Structure 1
Amino acid sequence: MIFSDYHEGTSKEWLITNGLGGYASSTVIGTNTRKYHGLLVASMNPPVERMVLLSSLDEELYTEDGTYKLAVHKYPGTVYPNGNEYLIKFITEPLPEFLYRAGGLIIKKYIVMVNGENTTIVKYDIENPEKKKAFLKILPLINSRSIHHLTKASDIAFSQQAGENKTTINNSHLQFSLISDTRYQADEHWYYDLEYEIELSRGYPYQEDNFNPGYFELEISDECCSCFVVASAESTENWKKTDIQTIDELIKREEKRIQDIATSSCENDSFLQKLLVAGDSFIVNRKSTGARSIIAGYHWFADWGRDTMISLPGLTLVTGRFDDARSVLSTFGSSCRRGLIPNLFPENPADSPVYNTVDASLWFVHATGKYLDYTGDLAFIEKMWPTIIEIVDNYRNGTDYGIMMDNDGLIEHSGQLTWMDAKVGTWEVTPRRGKACEINTLWYNALIYTAKMGEKLGKDVSGLKKIAEITAKSFKEKFHNTEKNCLYDCISGQGEDWNDSSIRPNQIFAVSLSHTMLPHEIEKGIVDIISEELLTPYGLRTLSPADSRYTGYYRGNTKERDAAYHNGTVWPWLLGPYITAYSKVYRDNTGTKDKLRDLLKGIEGHLDNACIGSISEIFDGDNPHEPDGCVSQAWSVAEILRCYVEDIKK
């Protein structure tokens, strides 16, 4: 990679997390191109209420030969300083490491977050082979704002309590500390009009001011020396006696934690190891429930019910993290209301969960059934049984958002309740009201899983089996598009008569789920048409390019992007069910596993691009399939991990 090329340097990002929803993230040259970037983005109410506290650390090296500024910022009409010119190496494994050469010195910069804390450590190792007299000045640029907003100097006031090697920053929101083993000098300035180019491209406000409270300074004269800066929203008592040895121990501890995750499969498979490490970043603690949850994506998503349940098998079951699986299922199961699992938990703990989803509850039953398949843990299933029955009964008898079972055994519902839920103002981009194909596939799957779980618990499940029979009969009769030998995406509910023959990926679940109801001939037809019209190297398109509504590029303002979101945009997570379905339909063909492994080469290459070490939320439908959306998405990683282990490795 050519780090001196600003545009290439800002095209790749890095991300580390702390198990609370907090993170540190930027580009590989250190330029913040998003309002979401920062070295300490703390989750003040885990895993939400994320605040940008430390935006960056600007290093300035002073030698007898001159001054070398290692930072890179974008201002109106210019980039300054150009510290990327001194960057000679960047790596992300196991932790972000920057290597600079300037003024005859080598500076290695390491960044680590303390797992379970809102704390970031930045350590510097300096090589000075000529024993030049030099000084390293480290200037923190700070803020105190939500990740979703920007700040101007006129919006906020800071105060600080400065010490010999630390300062505590206060404002009306909170306080946090900057601690070092070097001398601290208070010297307050504002940096004005920093620009975040990706926000500009997305049609959002993109300029803000950051506050510089002062600087840390290290005198360099020896051949080798080290120093550190800690940024923490935790109690300062934790860091009172911190020295470089303590910092080294914390870095080694986090490196070991990551290494243990990577090697937990006991296989020498670099692709699998990268997926395991990426997957760990999404498993977080939720303060409101005192249990585990799964964050949907970085940088801006919280823990969403649908995303969590789809991600759970890949992140916790194939990885053997069964304690986490139970905890996550308990988190959402305890908030079930009228048979509905929360679509999302609110940022504000005083607000109630939001339940506007028809599929999260069905995915919950699927995830619980998969948990039983993996563990045989009937004791936990018995605890979850009241929630599972509440879901099934409410879907049968009717619940909120028009969700109810019709006389034909199929579930119908209002619009904007499936995963294709983009909405701009009052415009429902893909309403899919009526009876959606994947919802009824999930319904049948839930009925069978519930019946199997009930049988193991000694319950009378004869009624569930009868409903499942009616559902399967109606589904085959009403959803089969005989002209194309695939499925209608959606059919009408009561009082209407229409079928939506759009070629979308939702029908793949009629083949991929644990319990399905179609004959092999139709399943093969589904896989074949999706292979022809929707398959790309990075996932499945959300609409066939032959459709007049197809939009091949995810670009522009919010309305333009949302119009493309489910009308052509590629989603990597859909590769998971596609690979499972293909493996099922073509299991007797020689070379099927090799073909599917080759299909994942695009994703494997992507792990070294965009957000290095993770998988993006979406890609363009048209070549060259540029990534976009969240840089690191839970179900993208989870479903690739699940299908790789379940369908290819086995």
Structure 2
Amino acid sequence: MATVRRLAFGPQVCGRLDEGSAREWLVPDGCGGYAMGTAGGLRTRRYHGLLVVAGENGRHLGPASLDPILTLPSGVSVRLGTHEWADGTIAPRGHELLAGFELVDGLPRWRWRVGDVVVERELAMAHGRPAVAIVHRLLTGGPVSLALDTLCTWRDVHGERGASGPPPTVSEASGGCVVADAYRLRGPGFRRAGSWWRGVHYRAEAARGLNPQEDLWHAGRFHAELRQPGATAEVTAWASDLDSAPPPASEIIQAARSRNRAIVAAARPADDAQATLALAADATLWFLHAVGRHVAVTDDTDLAASLLPALRDVVDHHLAGTRYGIGADPADGLLRQGAPGEALTWMDARVDGVPVTARAGKPVEINALWVNGLAMVIKLAWQVRVGAAVREQRDLDHRAPPPAPTRPPWPRSPAASRPWPAASPTWSTARPATTRPCGPISCWRGRCRTPRCAPHPASCRPSAPP
């Protein structure tokens, strides 16, 4: 069965508060509600939380956070949550212990590493009802004790609630509690608490000029002993019919994963006509460009490393040739495309089967993307290699890492040889003379005949990547 593409961020993103909190995830319940947060675990908006319930009077936020606390065999307790407070303090700083965040089949997954102990959290919504499932799993190490601080509210998602008013009512129920007579939580070893956590700060609301602060009610704490790898602690929260419990959390997650895979499978091309649309000559090349620009802006070399094998595979398939005549011409390295009766670019619009602007052959806009894609993949490979060398040096000692090369070994002319880092020698045949952000022809040292540099009379040369 088809799968949802995996999206992952390593500690380079998750461990940096600004980076991790800028990447948001959302899981819907199919009836207007959702769970939402950030990759790093910091809640930055008033509507970030584990269970947002849709109703006749709008959406309301219930449980806001479930903060894990690990107690190691040595007796040391480590908090894995992350909060920002009104005075600017970040405490606890669990994001610094994140080994990674990923979306697997559309569902968020976090992994924290503390020494040899790795704990994983997965989350999903039950489809068709306001219910969230959260599973914590010990992957390595142990035994450990796991506590989960439950921070709650009950308010409009665009409002706030404070300690100046009455706290939400919390009444005990089998396996957990009922909050504000609006939603119920169930999990292992629940113990009531009852105190305000004051001055929670939402940086995204502050940036919008809105009130960025509120107080959350500490309703209680769940407890579980994870004695060996594979042991789990499952928590569910639901609204609406409080007496009708949803399935166990692990079953909800498995059902959500299966449903997401089925949706992806249903979206696959059903016939050759749909396959033609899906295999546009320029679509994959735009993806190469998007990845290159993303990494250039964010410096997310973890993402570059994870995508690089797929990006190389894209180029290899274009060199070998794909369907509908899409492939590189061995004679000049340019990309050609076209098949009788097929429209492979947006400019190939047809009236009565006749293309208005025929693009079969080697259209310039396709080859601008192709050469740009080659340069982007080469640059990403270089960045990944340099990043790995820097990390290796940091592991060897705690001194400052050696400076990266000031410039990658880009060719000095279109004909110059360019060894592909750890790649097939067939790449040497695919180097057309122009590039995109790494071209097309751009002015070098003020001498160029291109229209934008018309006053300069001398020769031009390909520009090096930024």
The equivalences for 1:30-109 within 5 A come to 30-45=41-56, 49-65=58-74, 66-75=76-85, 76-94=87-105, 95-109=107-121
Q: Which residue of 1 aligns with 2:191?
A: 185
- Find the aligned partners of 1:178 and 1:200 in 2 and give their Cα distance: 30
- Find the aligned partners of 2:20 and 2:232 in 1 and give their Cα distance: 26
The Cα offsets for residues 69-128 of structure 1, whole Å up to 9 and x where unpaired, read as: 110111122111000121102111211011111253221100000111111111111135
Correspondence for 2:359 among 573, 589, 597: 589
Q: Which residue of 2 aligns with 1:302?
A: none
Q: 3-state SS of the aligned residue for 2:243? A: helix
Correspondence for 1:136 among 121, 128, 146: 146
Q: Which residue of 1 aligns with 2:133?
A: 121
Tell me which amino acid in the other structure corresponds to 1:175.
A
Q: 3-state SS of the aligned residue for 1:203? A: coil
- Find the aligned partners of 1:222 and 1:91 in 2 and give their Cα distance: 24
Tell me which amino acid in the other structure corresponds to 1:27.
T
Q: Which residue of 2 aligns with 1:22?
A: 33
- Find the aligned partners of 1:67 and 1:55 in 2 and give their Cα distance: 22
Alignment check: 8 A CA contact 1:162 1:168 kept: yes
Tell me which amino acid in the other structure corresponds to 1:78.
T
Deviation at 1:156, TM superposition (A): 4.0
Alignment check: 8 A CA contact 2:134 2:249 kept: no
Q: How many residues align?
A: 286
Deviation at 1:164, TM superposition (A): 5.3
Alignment check: 8 A CA contact 1:163 1:184 kept: no
Q: Which residue of 2 aligns with 1:340?
A: none
Check 1:226–1:580 CA distance in 2 against 1; reply closer, same or farther (3 A cut).
same
Q: 3-state SS of the aligned residue for 2:167? A: coil
Q: 3-state SS of the aligned residue for 1:263? A: helix
Correspondence for 1:168 among 170, 178, 184: 178
Q: 3-state SS of the aligned residue for 1:200? A: helix
The Cα offsets for residues 418-441 of structure 1, whole Å up to 9 and x where unpaired, read as: xxxxxxxxxxxxxxxxxxxxxxxx
Alignment check: 8 A CA contact 1:164 1:183 kept: no
Deviation at 1:145, TM superposition (A): 1.1
The Cα offsets for residues 308-345 of structure 1, whole Å up to 9 and x where unpaired, read as: xxxxxxxxxx99xxxxxxxxxxxxxxxxxxxxxxxxxx
Q: 3-state SS of the aligned residue for 2:45? A: coil
Q: Which residue of 2 aligns with 1:260?
A: 262
Q: Which residue of 2 aligns with 1:493?
A: none
- Find the aligned partners of 1:148 and 1:183 in 2 and give their Cα distance: 33
Tell me which amino acid in the other structure corresponds to 1:176.
Y
Q: Which residue of 1 aligns with 2:240?
A: 234
Tell me which amino acid in the other structure corresponds to 1:12.
R
The Cα offsets for residues 245-266 of structure 1, whole Å up to 9 and x where unpaired, read as: x432222111111001112133
TM-score normalized with structure 1 length: 0.41
Alignment check: 8 A CA contact 1:63 1:103 kept: no
Q: 3-state SS of the aligned residue for 2:43? A: coil
Deviation at 1:163, TM superposition (A): 3.6
- Find the aligned partners of 1:227 and 1:135 in 2 and give their Cα distance: 10
The Cα offsets for residues 610-632 of structure 1, whole Å up to 9 and x where unpaired, read as: xxxxxxxxxxxxx9xxxxxxxxx
Q: Which residue of 1 aligns with 2:122?
A: 110
The equivalences for 1:412-491 within 5 A come to none
Deviation at 1:222, TM superposition (A): 3.4
Q: 3-state SS of the aligned residue for 2:104? A: coil
More helix by share: 1
Check 1:59–1:537 CA distance in 2 against 1; reply closer, same or farther (3 A cut).
closer
TM-score normalized with structure 2 length: 0.56
Tell me which amino acid in the other structure corresponds to 2:134.
V
Check 1:12–1:163 CA distance in 2 against 1; reply closer, same or farther (3 A cut).
same
The equivalences for 1:305-320 within 5 A come to none
Correspondence for 2:159 among 149, 168, 192: 149
- Find the aligned partners of 1:78 and 1:64 in 2 and give their Cα distance: 29
- Find the aligned partners of 2:61 and 2:162 in 1 and give their Cα distance: 14
Q: 3-state SS of the aligned residue for 1:224? A: coil
Q: Which residue of 1 aligns with 2:218?
A: 212
Q: 3-state SS of the aligned residue for 1:111? A: strand
The equivalences for 1:507-586 within 5 A come to 583=349
Deviation at 1:41, TM superposition (A): 0.9
Alignment check: 8 A CA contact 1:109 1:124 kept: yes
The equivalences for 1:282-321 within 5 A come to none
Check 1:259–1:67 CA distance in 2 against 1; reply closer, same or farther (3 A cut).
same
Q: 3-state SS of the aligned residue for 1:238? A: coil
Deviation at 1:598, TM superposition (A): 5.5
- Find the aligned partners of 2:72 and 2:32 in 1 and give their Cα distance: 40
Q: 3-state SS of the aligned residue for 1:139? A: strand
- Find the aligned partners of 2:136 and 2:363 in 1 and give their Cα distance: 49
Identity of aligned residues (%): 23
RMSD over aligned Cα, in angstroms? 3.3
Alignment check: 8 A CA contact 1:190 1:212 kept: yes
Check 1:79–1:580 CA distance in 2 against 1; reply closer, same or farther (3 A cut).
same
The Cα offsets for residues 14-38 of structure 1, whole Å up to 9 and x where unpaired, read as: 1111111211111101101111211
Q: Which residue of 1 aligns with 2:447?
A: none
Q: 3-state SS of the aligned residue for 1:589? A: coil
- Find the aligned partners of 1:73 and 1:151 in 2 and give their Cα distance: 17
Gaps of 5+ in 1: 273-317, 320-535, 539-578, 602-622, 624-650
- Find the aligned partners of 1:89 and 1:167 in 2 and give their Cα distance: 31
Tell me which amino acid in the other structure corresponds to 1:263.
A
Deviation at 1:595, TM superposition (A): 4.1
The Cα offsets for residues 522-575 of structure 1, whole Å up to 9 and x where unpaired, read as: xxxxxxxxxxxxxx989xxxxxxxxxxxxxxxxxxxxxxxxxxxxxxxxxxxxx
Alignment check: 8 A CA contact 1:176 1:234 kept: yes
- Find the aligned partners of 1:43 and 1:88 in 2 and give their Cα distance: 33
Alignment check: 8 A CA contact 1:178 1:230 kept: yes
Check 1:200–1:165 CA distance in 2 against 1; reply closer, same or farther (3 A cut).
same
Tell me which amino acid in the other structure corresponds to 2:221.
Y
Tell me which amino acid in the other structure corresponds to 1:121.
A
Deviation at 1:175, TM superposition (A): 1.2
Alignment check: 8 A CA contact 2:234 2:250 kept: no
Alignment check: 8 A CA contact 1:162 1:184 kept: no
Check 1:596–1:27 CA distance in 2 against 1; reply closer, same or farther (3 A cut).
farther
The Cα offsets for residues 186-235 of structure 1, whole Å up to 9 and x where unpaired, read as: 01121111111111111111111111111101123334311111111132
Matched, 1:225 2:231: yes
Check 1:19–1:163 CA distance in 2 against 1; reply closer, same or farther (3 A cut).
closer
Check 1:77–1:108 CA distance in 2 against 1; reply closer, same or farther (3 A cut).
same
Alignment check: 8 A CA contact 1:68 1:103 kept: no
- Find the aligned partners of 1:51 and 1:598 in 2 and give their Cα distance: 46
The Cα offsets for residues 144-163 of structure 1, whole Å up to 9 and x where unpaired, read as: 11111122122343111114
Alignment check: 8 A CA contact 1:23 1:40 kept: yes
- Find the aligned partners of 1:85 and 1:157 in 2 and give their Cα distance: 32
Check 1:202–1:128 CA distance in 2 against 1; reply closer, same or farther (3 A cut).
same
